[in-house]
Structure 1
Amino acid sequence: MYDAIVVGARCAGSPVAMLLARRGYRVLLVDRATQPADTVSTHYLQQYGLAKLKQWGLLDTLVAADVTPITRMVISYRENVIAGFADPYEGIEATYAPRRTLLDPILLDGARAAGVEVREGYTVRELLFEGDRVVGVKGSTGGGEPTEERARIVIGADGSQSFVGKAVGAEIYRTIPAASFVYYSYWSGLKTDFHSRIGVDQQVGVWPTSGGRTLLAIMKPLDRWDEFRTDVEANFLQVVKDIVPDIAEQVADAGQREERFTGMRYPDNFYRRSHGPGWALVGDAGYHKDPITGQGISDAFVHAELLADQVELGLSGQRPLDEAVADYVAARDERTASAFQFAATVGELALPAQLEVIFGALAAHPDNAKAFFNLIAGATTGEQFFHPDHVATMLGRA
């Protein structure tokens, strides 16, 4: 009998398992993949996400790996360009965008070191119920015989298509349709800062990752999907040339694409019911927003810790377990509401008039730009940044 079973061992699952194990609980962590295994990702870790790794004692391992620090960002909307970086946040002066084949094993090793029992290559086939309460899982490793494992809570950290969420019938209670698709790949031979540049109905992202590679990504509206796929490479490079011609020249002169293109139509932005009798969802399983703001990994860390705190209250008997987990969901929803709406809006690649005016103010004054970079870092909240008084101050400076 485990205290918790966590399904999914990536950016949300490994941390929540690790944190519960560090507090003395018996935790089983399962994943159908075996690390290192790649997955579609924005890669980027803001300072508030790195701060969690630092608190958990894992940041030094990441920094010591072959991953390039990022200390300058260039963000633009059409002709308005802002460049700079956030102030140090909890002593962190750089950010990183590691490949998931590097980051996910670090997280999984952290869980193992905490005493988590890990089963890779393990597929959950069904949940076990007593009445309406989830009490465990049934699954197998490879083609082996299925086993049943029981726990006081089962946590689904298994992505936007969550098996756990589907098995408990967790409904989506807020949704905004996805507006765009993404294609990306990796180049060697490039030297560049972090770029997130929006042109007319298209976007380019460029940032150094790990292993000496640079990620180039493009976004376009969903209705251009079929047309784009007729010649992915030519259409991809044309978007780069349209928005960041200097980087396009570098790609042509010195760049070497090292991997195939990866493309994905984004799932809709959603909140899914994330708690019930004996179960909870964390990470993309319960909450997914447009990847254009690149907050998915950092948010997974924050929410994993928030869930671990509430689960501990329940497992220790300080509060009823289901009640404590319900409070995790309420806090998550409240803290992410503005970021959820902002990401969905920006993901349409055409800002409404009010946001376009604000972006012009960011480009017009360095103090405004610094405030925006501090928002990205996690030093201020969206509610603080977009408060009418702060917006008036920025417009006054501009």
Structure 2
Amino acid sequence: MYDVIVVGARCAGSPLAMLLARKGHRVLVVDRSTFPSDTVSTHYMHQVGVARLKEWGLLDKLVATGVTPIRRLNFSYTGITLRGFAEVEGIDEVYAPRRTVLDNLLVDAARAAGAEVIEGFTVTGLLWQDGRVCGVKGTVADGSEQEFRASFVVGADGRNSTVGDLVDAEYHTVRPASCFVYYSYYDGLDWEFHHWTGFDKQQFGAWPTNDNQHLVTVMRPLDRFAEFRTDVDANFQQVFDQIMPEFGAQLRDNGKRTEQLRSMRYPDNYYRRSAGPGWALVGDAGYHKDPFTGWGISDALVYGEVLADQLHAGLSGEQPIDAAVREYERIRDERSTDTFNFTCMISELKAPPFYETVFRAASASELGLTQFFRLIGGGLHGKEFFAPEHLDTLYTAAGTPAGERMYSADES
């Protein structure tokens, strides 16, 4: 009998299991995959995500894998360019590790903390008692069936969550997906972090990862997907050529793709009910947004820690466990709303005039750049950044005339 069973061992599940095991709880983690293994991802970790690894004693292990540090960010959004970085929670560089590296590190950390991990286990059902989830059943690689029981079950099994489906967790705050992504890995590029959005609703990004390689990606609206697929290689290159010809030339002349191009057609952005009798959802299982802003990994780490604290409160008898986990869901929803809304807006590849006005002001002063990159790194809440009094300081620093200042998207 376990205290908690976690379904899914990647960047939401393993940290949760590790933190609970460190608090003395008996934890089982199961995953259909074996590790190391890959998964589609932006790879990028914001400062608040990196700070969690540092706090847990795992950052040095990540750095030791040779992942290239990122110390400056270059953003351009329809002609407005912002370059810089901001220290957040003592973190002055970030990383974009390969998932074969990061996820394996996190699984090892869960095991080292005392959690039991079973790889190659596919959950096929949940166990119930008196209306509560009390365990899981599933199959291992040889096809044999097994059951495990626990006081609580957590689905950390991604956007197609089996646990979420089995408890019939309803979706809410659903926003349609806007774009598709193609990406791969390249040798031969000497680039910083770049994220450039052109005027014709297209975007490219590139950032360093492990093995001195760069993850290189393009994004286009979903209605261009069929056309794009007719010649993926040529259309991938064309996005660079049209947005930044010099980058297109460097990609063509110096870049050597080392793996096939991968496509991501993400589902709609959503929140999903993430707490119920004997169960919870964490990571993309309960809250998913477009990859444009790269918040998936960091949010999984941040809110996995919140859930660990709330589960510990319930398991230790500090408060009823279901109430404690509902509080996790409330905290997650409250703190993530700004990121969710901002991501849904900017991933459409055409910002309303309000945001363009704010970004232009932020790009025109050191104060504005610092505050913008604090926002991007998780050190400044969206409500603070877009508050009228804060916008006034940015507009004043940038010399924005009073008649051009905007304070709400409703003015767009």
Question: Does TM, normalized by the shorter one, top 0.5?
Answer: yes
CA-CA distance at 1:144 after TM superposition:
3.5
| SS of residue matched to 1:364 | coil
CA-CA distance at 1:284 after TM superposition:
0.1
Deviations 1:245-280 (A, max 9, x none): 222221122110111000121211100000100000
Decide whether the 8 Å contact of 2:204 with 2:240 is kept in 1: yes
Paired position in structure 1 for 2:175: 176
Amino acid at match of 1:211: D
Paired position in structure 2 for 1:274: 274
| SS of residue matched to 1:150 | strand
Q: Counterparts in 2 of 1:69-88, with a 5 A limit?
A: 69-86=69-86, 88=87
Paired position in structure 1 for 2:63: 63
Amino acid at match of 1:388: P
Paired position in structure 1 for 2:405: none
Paired position in structure 2 for 1:102: 101
Amino acid at match of 2:258: E
CA-CA distance at 1:131 after TM superposition:
3.3
Paired position in structure 2 for 1:249: 249
Q: Give structure 2 stretches of 5+ with no counterpart.
A: 399-412
Paired position in structure 2 for 1:386: 386
Q: Give the distance between the partners of 1:59 and 1:68, measured in 2 at CA.
A: 13
Q: Give the distance between the partners of 2:107 and 2:286, measured in 1 at CA.
A: 21
Q: Counterparts in 2 of 1:12-91, with a 5 A limit?
A: 12-86=12-86, 88-91=87-90
Decide whether the 8 Å contact of 2:132 with 2:278 is kept in 1: yes
Q: Counterparts in 2 of 1:195-274, with a 5 A limit?
A: 195-200=194-199, 201-274=201-274
Amino acid at match of 1:277: P
Q: Give the distance between the partners of 2:165 and 2:88, measured in 1 at CA.
A: 38
Q: Give the distance between the partners of 2:109 and 2:179, measured in 1 at CA.
A: 35
| SS of residue matched to 2:271 | strand
Paired position in structure 1 for 2:127: 128
Q: Give the distance between the partners of 2:190 and 2:6, measured in 1 at CA.
A: 39
Decide whether the 8 Å contact of 2:120 with 2:140 is kept in 1: yes
Paired position in structure 2 for 1:346: 346
Q: Give the distance between the partners of 2:177 and 2:371, measured in 1 at CA.
A: 28
Larger mean Cα displacement after TM superposition, 356-365 or 30-39: 356-365
Q: Give the distance between the partners of 2:88 and 2:173, measured in 1 at CA.
A: 32
Q: Quote the RMSD (CA, aligned, Å).
A: 0.9
Amino acid at match of 2:237: L
Paired position in structure 1 for 2:403: none
Amino acid at match of 2:171: I
Q: Counterparts in 2 of 1:307-318, with a 5 A limit?
A: 307-318=307-318
Q: Counterparts in 2 of 1:301-380, with a 5 A limit?
A: 301-380=301-380
Amino acid at match of 1:184: Y
Deviations 1:349-396 (A, max 9, x none): 000110011111122222201111111222211111111111121112
Paired position in structure 2 for 1:189: 188
Corresponding residue pairs, total: 397
Decide whether the 8 Å contact of 2:45 with 2:95 is kept in 1: yes
Decide whether the 8 Å contact of 2:237 with 2:252 is kept in 1: no
Q: Give the distance between the partners of 1:93 and 1:246, measured in 2 at CA.
A: 29
CA-CA distance at 1:38 after TM superposition:
0.6
Larger mean Cα displacement after TM superposition, 164-173 or 91-100: 91-100
Larger mean Cα displacement after TM superposition, 65-74 or 6-15: 65-74
Q: Give the distance between the partners of 2:136 and 2:333, measured in 1 at CA.
A: 27
Larger mean Cα displacement after TM superposition, 131-140 or 338-347: 131-140
Deviations 1:211-255 (A, max 9, x none): 111011111111001000000010010001112222222112211
CA-CA distance at 1:116 after TM superposition:
0.4
1:4 aligns with 2:4: yes
Decide whether the 8 Å contact of 2:189 with 2:251 is kept in 1: yes
Residue identity (%)? 56
CA-CA distance at 1:89 after TM superposition:
2.6
Paired position in structure 2 for 1:167: 166
Paired position in structure 2 for 1:292: 292
Amino acid at match of 1:50: V
CA-CA distance at 1:130 after TM superposition:
1.3
| SS of residue matched to 2:94 | coil
Decide whether the 8 Å contact of 2:89 with 2:379 is kept in 1: no
Paired position in structure 1 for 2:115: 116
Amino acid at match of 2:78: R
Q: Give the distance between the partners of 1:45 and 1:244, measured in 2 at CA.
A: 25
Q: Give the distance between the partners of 2:244 and 2:192, measured in 1 at CA.
A: 12
| SS of residue matched to 1:35 | coil
Query: TM (normalized to structure 1)?
Result: 0.98
Decide whether the 8 Å contact of 2:4 with 2:26 is kept in 1: yes
Paired position in structure 1 for 2:154: 155
Query: TM (normalized to structure 2)?
Result: 0.95
Q: Give the distance between the partners of 2:108 and 2:244, measured in 1 at CA.
A: 39
